[in-house]
Each structure stands twice: as structure tokens, then as C-alpha cells.
Amino acid sequence: MTVNQSPSSFSTPRQRKILRKSYFWLKLLIITVGLITTVDLVCRFLGEWFWFQEVDYLGVWLTRLLTQISLATSVFAVSALFLGLNLFLAEKLSGFESSNYGKSYAQKKPILGKMTLRPLLTLMGLICLLISFLLLHYLQISLSFLSSILEIPFLTNLYTASDVTESYDVSNLKPFFISSLKLQDIQNLLQQIWQAKWQIPILIGFCGFLMMKRRLGLKLFAGVISVFLGLVCALNWEQLLLFLNAISFEKTDPIFSKDVGFYVFSLPIWELLDFWVGGLFLYGLCAVSLIYLGSNNSISNGQFLGFSYPQLRHLYGLGGLVLLTLSLRHALARYELLYSERGVIYGASYADAQVQLPVETFLSITAAIAGIWLFAHALIHPNRFQISGRSPWVALIIYALGLLLGVGLTPLVQQFEVLPNELEKERPYLERSITMTRAGFALDRIEEEPFDPQGDLTLADIEANDQTIRNIRLWDTRPILQTNRQLQRIRLYYEFPDADIDRYTLLKGIGDLENPNQLTERQQVIISPRELNFSAIPQQGQTWVNRHLVYTHGYGFTLSPVNQVGEGGLPYYYIQDIGTGEEEEAGKLRTANPQIRDSIPIGNPRIYYGELTQDYVMTRTGQLELDFPRGDENAYNVYGGEGGINIGSWWRRGLFAEYLKDWQMLFTQNFTTETTLLMRRNIKERVSAIAPFLGFDRDPYLVTAHTEDSLAGTSESHLYWILDAYTMNDHYPYSDPGGYGFNYIRNSVKVIIDAYDGDIQFYIADDDPIIHAWDKVFPDLFHSLEEMPITLRSHIRYPVDLFKVQSERLLNYHMTDPQVFYNREDQWEIPREIYGTQAQAVEPYYLTMKLPDAEREEFILLLPFTPPDRNNMIAWLAARSDGEFYGRQLLYQFPKQRLIFGPEQIEALINQDPVISQQISLWNRQGSQTIQGNLLVIPIEESLLYVEPVYLEAARTSLPTLIRVIVVYENRIAMAETLQEAINVIFQPEKAEDVPAILRPLEDETTPVPEELELE
């Protein structure tokens, strides 16, 4: 008997009243939840609208949003409609929906698939397990996408390759790419489930739920999978827009002779289509099969009588779609062989090209024929469907045999034909991989030059390279930061998050007026912003008013020359402190002298947008903002910049209270009609919100400069952040990604962020097809590098993260000869050094120096290389940053027949020297700790000079002071109080007798410590 749950079916008025009340509260709950959700979505949409309008990139956001919504809704609608219709048809053909459908199933003659209970349960269990794996696979991909986009720490990205290589961590560069469900994915899922055994009950629960509640479970899972598919496709909006705006790379792959743009722009879309329809059709086939197998009480009756003609037609249609999807998968697998890791190289090897490629082609054609065959059988003979013997299964059997052939034959060829003759067989493929990897990481742009140190450097050469000597970095960023945090914080709420190397042009004073170059000089400096860190304020002071209305900005920066030492061995500051009004004008940063004041524009030193500005703030309120400390008191101000969103009206206040989930905004009495909201003040978050398709360098750096706008009086700000941005891809054919998640990278964009107004400008810095495609997508987003103000352009530098990636790849891929590469005859390593007491990889470092054959000194990024298991230096790589030479890289290789000391050998010689080591031990025994800083290799003329600063740090305070400079040249080591003294001791030992220094020959290990040094 059917039980009707309508109110009229209850016998008593009380029961009907209770049910009506329950329905009322249920409807009220649904309406309330729907209303809250709608309000939240509307507020979020309007909040984003106003923010993108403020930064003047509303069109960029709308293009992205409309693309995502279109993808999500279309994919979800098509998926849900397809699965819904198939489930409805399956239930119809199983007699679930109507008892009037012709003859009942039991009266129809089953023609195929009769089975008893045991095989029936086994088959249904396997189908349920496959559905569960499919659901888990798409769930993990969806969560991984959300994790990579929303940066949710507990969602693990299961498919991104490791971003940490042997020497350097560049985990900030981690693009994410999808994959369809493959057999190896099921194996990976099984391994993961076995390791995380708490997932086993969940998987069993999925299967049990499907077995017991097939109808409800299949519909529920169909909805969930449709949502997942729509979500993943929407999050791949970038691939669609790039596909629609593809640019030719004007370079073809060596196997299919297709333009690289096909792999970068088109292949990902085909893979996304495969991901979508593959899961959709496979789930449809499994769900329909499960319905048919469980129909007519087959489990309770203990047997399945078989499939009827209409059911077989339905299954044949779905099976045909699955096989057509398999055909697409094998067709794509042909191109994906260019990313194979089977052989000795990355990309299609001999076995891939000669065996696997024909197999994939054969499987694609066979699967297509089988799919069309099955699909045709499902469509023809609507009234009299018949199966003619084995005909529909012939293609399936051939396909299965081809699949087995592909699985078994390629490894056999690799094992028995390739490995015994590997170099001969793989030579052309090695050449391809080397060429394409060098192109993917722009290693083919590096110019190679020989460098043969002569060892004949003289004092005259030193004097001729005076600017190089005067820019040798004695201060590392770490001791500068430690000193700043001790001496320049001024208040607890100020913090120095970072220190960066840059260069500025300084006035020298009176000189030759006819030669203006004599009036100025380039000086390498370390700049460190003084930002506001609200978390450092004592807990009692962390109120809502203080967080959002009072403590709104940092103030100023410190600027130190890399080569000068102040009193007591502390850093010398060109710019420091905050004027209190006693000696300097209140709020002005203290400069070392008038020349510095005239050379370096300071202007407005307030930092409203920075690296530590995580909180949103409201300005132009009734509450004054803390500006800077002024002795025992504080100075206050009101924000006068152009940034921010006006929230003076009541409805905007309510809108952003909901958007930010900050209800105190509704009740504060401090807001005025001019109140402005500054949000997304963290510069990386700010830039990523506008251009999430770019990867960003981990180290933005501050620049103080006059720009055209500020000179014209339209902006008072002179503080800007420069952030390097990258285009990356993992589909560059034959390019070996190594330990990274990408095999193509370019520093395509320089981003300028105004630290006061928050204004953001994107400048194209590389002739890269990917960034040109994005320029077509967003024509108002990018500017040419020539449009960047010249005063800011003079501060751009080759980015360290890109240099690290290229250096790692260059360790192997500087070898262009296939035989040398195969034997790893000339492999390199990143040298190591001792910093303090810890061994670490040598970090790339900026130098101001004159390259061999160059006419003048310039700002470069440099890194030496050593051979494996040996510590002598074999080469060094330089990246240029100045003017017309920006971006050019030079690789200088040393003669292999000569021994050139590497950083580790120099470190060992220094530490093994009894005089120097005994002096260092003396300092360490006096309640302090010596720290040996970065060892710098300085190329001068055709010689190498090694320089290492030595710092002394008291045990109770973290305040390092520079106490000695060690200089090594050829067979001499000098340790003196200053760099110039150490150089003089080496190159003019006869005139340096009165200098308190140590001069040691490298081969001498017996000289005692001078008595006068024992007292230091």
C-alpha cells in the first residue's frame, strides 16, 4: 500500500496541524538560508566590483568572471542533463517509473548477460568501487584546484610535481594542471588510501550506500560529479581564453612538426575536454549498468536474468561514447609522448617514437571504430534490434589486444633493443630533448664565453676597477636586517620584513661640468622598508579601532651602502630614523649628508601597501591615524592618497560589513561621508587578484624614485614596489621540467605598485607568446616596458627566482653534445659555502662590476658552478640588469685543465689556516660568536678575487658588527679591518707593515699567531 505523506492523509487534526507546522518551519528555513546565501553572493559580487573599479581593472575581472560562469553553468547543465536523461531512461526501461510500459521486464526474453548471485554481486561491487574511485578522483582534483587558488593549507595538491629542488626552494612558482582518470590514477588512489587508512571506511560506505540505495545514490552522485566537472572546467578558464587567443611560437616540435603553440594553447583544451566527457560518459555507463543489474529484485531473487533489447541498445550507446572518448584519449596520448619519462631523456624516446606512437595510433583508430560500431547498433533497427553473433565484440577484442600489446611491447623493446645500444638508439632523441629544454627555460639565449684567469692582477688594475671595488658587498641582507630590527624599529609595531639589493645614482659633488658622468656614481645599496606589523602590538592594544582605524601604515625605510661601515663596526646608513622635530624636521627621514638628500628622492615615506599589510583599514574617519612616533608622543595624520573605496553612505557600509564579515563597521561612530576603505593591501595578494594567471617572484623590492607624475605634482609618493611576474607552462614539448611543475618559464611582466596609493601597472618585459596571448585577452591590462618611467626602469633587475631555476637546469643542460650529456661527463653543481656555522648552497648575488670586454661597470646577478664531487670552480653565470643589456646572460667557462679555486675550497683554506682560525677561536671564546658571511667571487679583468666578511655577534644580543674582511687572491690570504686594507696588504705588502692585518701564503700552515692579535 502506498503511503501518501500529504497533510490530508493523517487521521487526526492534531497530526495534520503538526505536519503543517513542520512544513512551515522547513520552508522558512529554506527561504532563510536561500536569502542569506543570495545576500552574501550579491555583497561579494558588488564588493569585488567596487574594488576592481577602484584599481581600474574592472574589465579584466568581468571578462574572467563571465568566462568562469559560462564554463561552470554550461558544463554543469550539459553534464546534469546528460546523466539525468540516462538515469531516467534506465529507470524507465527497468520498469521503475511506470507499470504501463508495454510488457513487463519479466515477460521479455532476456538475450544477454544471465548470471547467478555470486557473479552478480561481484560485478555490482566492482561497478560501485569504480564509481567511488571516479568520485574520489574528481573530488581530489576539485579540492586541489581550490587549494591552489584559495591557498587552503589542509587541501593537498596531489598532482603537482615537487617544487623544491636539490639546492633552491622556489615553491612560490607552482602552477596546477589537471589529468583525466587513468589506470595509474586508480593505483595511486589505492596507495594513498592504504597509507591513509581512515579513507577505507569512507570508500566502503560509498559502495554500501550505492548497493543499498542505488536509485538515490546514483542521482546524488550524478549531481555531485556534475558540480565537480563544472567547478574544474570553470577554474580552467585560463586555458579557454588562451586557446581562443593563441599565438604562434614560430617553432615546431621534432615528431609531429606542429607549432609549439598547439601544445601550449590547444592541447590543454583537448585534455580538458577529455577530462570532462571521459568522466561523464564513464559514470553514465556505470550508473546505467548498475540500475539494470539491480532491477526486478535480481539480488533478492538470487539471479540476474539478462539484459533486454532496449537495455542493450542503451548500454551500447553509452559504451560507444566511452570508446569514442578512449579514442580521443589515445589520440591525445600520441602528443603526450613528448612528455614521456620512459627513456634516458625527457620526451619521446626511441621506444616511444618507434613502438608506442604506432600503438597509440592503432588504439585510437580501433577504439573509434568500435565506438562507432556500438553507437550505430544502438541507433539502428528501432523496432527490431538484433545482435549478429560476435560482430559488436570483434573491435573490442582487437582493442583489448592492442592495449595489451602497447603495455607489454614497448617495455620489451626498451629492455632488449634500446638498453644494449642506448646511446646509438637515443642520440637523435637526446638532441631533441637538449634543444627543447634549453628553449623552454631560455638557456639557448645564454651567450657562452671562455674565461681563463691569468693571475696577473696588479694594483693598477685594482685602481682601474675602482667602482667594482667600491661596490663589493661587505654587508649581507641578514646582518642588515638584524641591525635594523635592533636599532631602527623605533617602536614594537614597526618591522623590517626584508632587505633588498639595488643601485642608485649618487651625486659626487663638484666636478667637471662638461663631463656630467664625473658628477655622479652608481652605488650598490641595501634598502629595507619599515612596515607596520600590528601583531607585534601588545594584546591589550589590539582593539578593533586600533587595527582598522589607527595603525594604518608603515613609515620610511633604511638605505645602506653595501661597502661602508659605521662606528663600532655597524652598518653605515645613507637614510635612517624618523625625524622628531629636534634635529630634523618632524617626519623626515634622516639622511647622511646633503648629497644623499639631493640624490635620493624620499618624498612621502608612508607605506599603506606592502608585504606585511594584511588588514584592511578605514581612512578619513573621525579617528586620526598614527603617523609616526615623535619622541614620547605620536604624530597623527589623515590619508591623502587616491586609493580606496568610499564607504561613506549607509548602504555601502552595510555592503562591506557583510563582504568583510565585520559587523562593527555598522555600529562605529567614527565613519564620515568621506570614509575610505583600503583593502587587499598586501601587494602580492593585490596583484594576484588582478592577474591570477601569472606566477610571482617571492621577493618584491622597494624603490624610491621621482616619476613623471610626481614631478608634475599629480602624486606626492615616491615609494614603489617592483614585483617580477612569470608566465609558466608544463606543455612545452620535449622540455625537461626537472623537479619543477613546469617546463617553460619567462619573466614576462614587471609590476609596479604604488606604496601610498596602491596603483598597479603591468609592463611586458619579454617577447613571450603566452604574454602576448594574454595581451589579446586583456588589451587594457598591459603596457610596454618603454612606457615605464625611466627612473623606475633604471631599478629593474634580473629576478633571482628565475635565475635560480635557470641555474638548476643549466647544471646538466649546458652540455649540448648528446654523448657528453648521456655520459654526464661535464655535469655541474651549485657550490656550497659556510654561513656562520651552517653549510648552505651559494645563493646568486648581485654585483656592480665590469664584465670582460664591457666598457663600464654594470649591475649583474652572478653564480659560480663547480663539478660534482670536486670543489674547484668550472664556470660562472652572469645576468645583466642595466639599460639596453637587460636580460642578457653570459656563461663564462674556465679551462678544464686548470685548477680554479671554488667557494668551498676557499672556505676550507680560510678555516684551515692556523693564524686566522686561531683568531676566530679567540673571538668565539670571549662570549661572542663569529659569523663568516657570504663568500663572494669577484671577477676583475681576467682574474678572480675572493672576498668574505666576518661579523661578530654578542651572545646576548643579535647585533652583528663587521670586524674583519678576508680577501683571497691566487696564493695569498689577507685578513684586515677594512676591505681596502686587505687589498693593500695583498697587492702592496711592502707598504702595509703598519696595518693591523694578517697576510698568509696558502701553502704555509705553521706560522704562529702574532702576539698583538692574541690581545684583540
Domain spans of the chain, in order of start: 68-96+111-382+394-422, 614-681, 900-1001
- The pLDDT of residue 719 is 93
Q: Is the pLDDT of residue 200 over 80?
A: no
658 CB contacts (<8 Å, ≥6 apart)?
39, 40, 43
Are 939 and 852 a contacting pair, CB within 8 Å? Answer: yes
State mean pLDDT over 874-889: 93
Q: Is the pLDDT of residue 341 over 50?
A: yes
298 pLDDT band, cuts 50/70/90, is: confident
Q: Is 746 helix (H, G, I), strand (E, B) or coil?
A: strand
- The pLDDT of residue 389 is 43
83 CB contacts (<8 Å, ≥6 apart)?
222, 225, 226, 280, 283, 284, 287
Q: Is the pLDDT of residue 3 over 50?
A: no
- The pLDDT of residue 513 is 44
State mean pLDDT over 328-332: 93
Q: Is the pLDDT of residue 656 over 80?
A: yes
CA distance 302 to 1003: 92
Q: Tell me which DSSP letter residue 926 carries.
A: T
Higher pLDDT, 82 or 383: 82
Q: Is the pLDDT of residue 563 over 80?
A: yes
Q: Is the pLDDT of residue 157 over 50?
A: no
163 pLDDT band, cuts 50/70/90, is: very low
615 CB contacts (<8 Å, ≥6 apart)?
534, 547, 548, 681
- The pLDDT of residue 739 is 84
- The pLDDT of residue 892 is 93
- The pLDDT of residue 392 is 55
Q: Is the pLDDT of residue 160 over 50?
A: no
Q: Is the pLDDT of residue 102 over 70?
A: no
1007 pLDDT band, cuts 50/70/90, is: very low
CA distance 569 to 21: 82
State mean pLDDT over 997-1002: 66
CA distance 338 to 334: 8
What DSSP line would sit under 935-967, residue for residue?
Answer: PEEEEETTEEEEEEEEEEEESS----EEEEEEE
192 pLDDT band, cuts 50/70/90, is: low
**pLDDT, tens only, 430-459:** 999 999 999 999 999 999 999 888 878 888
Average pLDDT, the chain: 84
Q: Is the pLDDT of residue 104 over 50?
A: no
93 pLDDT band, cuts 50/70/90, is: confident
**pLDDT, tens only, 780-811:** 999 999 999 999 999 999 999 999 999 999 99
Q: Is the pLDDT of residue 183 over 70?
A: no
State mean pLDDT over 641-646: 92
- The pLDDT of residue 190 is 65
As to burial, measured by CB atoms within 10 angstroms (0-12 exposed, 13-18 middle, 19+ buried), residue 573 is buried
Q: Is the pLDDT of residue 258 over 60?
A: yes
- The pLDDT of residue 156 is 35
Q: Is the pLDDT of residue 47 over 90?
A: yes
- The pLDDT of residue 1009 is 39
Q: How far is CA 9 from CA 6, 20, 22, 23, in A?
A: 6, 12, 15, 15
Q: Which residue do the cell numbers 665590469 mark? A: 850
Q: Is the pLDDT of residue 677 over 90?
A: yes
CA distance 240 to 146: 18
Phi-psi sector, 968: left (phi>0), alpha (psi -120 to 50), beta: beta
- The pLDDT of residue 165 is 44
Higher pLDDT, 414 or 80: 80
Strand (E) or helix (H) holding 634: strand 633-637
Contacts of residues 869-874 at CB distance under 8 Å and 24 or more positions apart, as own/partner, are 871/831, 871/902, 871/903, 871/904, 871/905, 871/908, 872/899, 872/900, 872/901, 872/902, 872/905, 873/831, 873/900, 873/901, 873/902, 873/903, 873/937, 873/944, 874/828, 874/900, 874/902
Count of C-beta atoms within a 10 Å radius of residue 507: 16
Are 137 and 185 a contacting pair, CB within 8 Å? Answer: yes
State mean pLDDT over 421-427: 91
**24-33, 268-277, 479-488, 843-852: least confidently modelled range:** 24-33
473 CB contacts (<8 Å, ≥6 apart)?
501, 524, 562, 563, 845, 846, 847, 934, 936
97 pLDDT band, cuts 50/70/90, is: very low
107 pLDDT band, cuts 50/70/90, is: very low
Higher pLDDT, 910 or 262: 262
State mean pLDDT over 24-44: 87
CA distance 780 to 649: 31
Phi, psi for 545 (deg, rounded to 5) = -65, -45
Q: Is the pLDDT of residue 415 over 60?
A: yes
- The pLDDT of residue 321 is 92
Highest mean pLDDT among 618-627, 628-637, 908-917: 618-627
Higher pLDDT, 239 or 125: 239
Q: Is the pLDDT of residue 177 over 50?
A: no
**pLDDT, tens only, 300-321:** 787 887 888 888 888 889 999 9
- The pLDDT of residue 198 is 64
Q: Is the pLDDT of residue 121 over 90?
A: no
Higher pLDDT, 416 or 526: 526
- The pLDDT of residue 564 is 92
500 pLDDT band, cuts 50/70/90, is: very high
Cell numbers found for residue 92: 524507465
Q: Is 256 helix (H, G, I), strand (E, B) or coil?
A: coil
Are 405 and 359 a contacting pair, CB within 8 Å? Answer: yes
Highest mean pLDDT among 507-516, 757-766, 921-930: 757-766
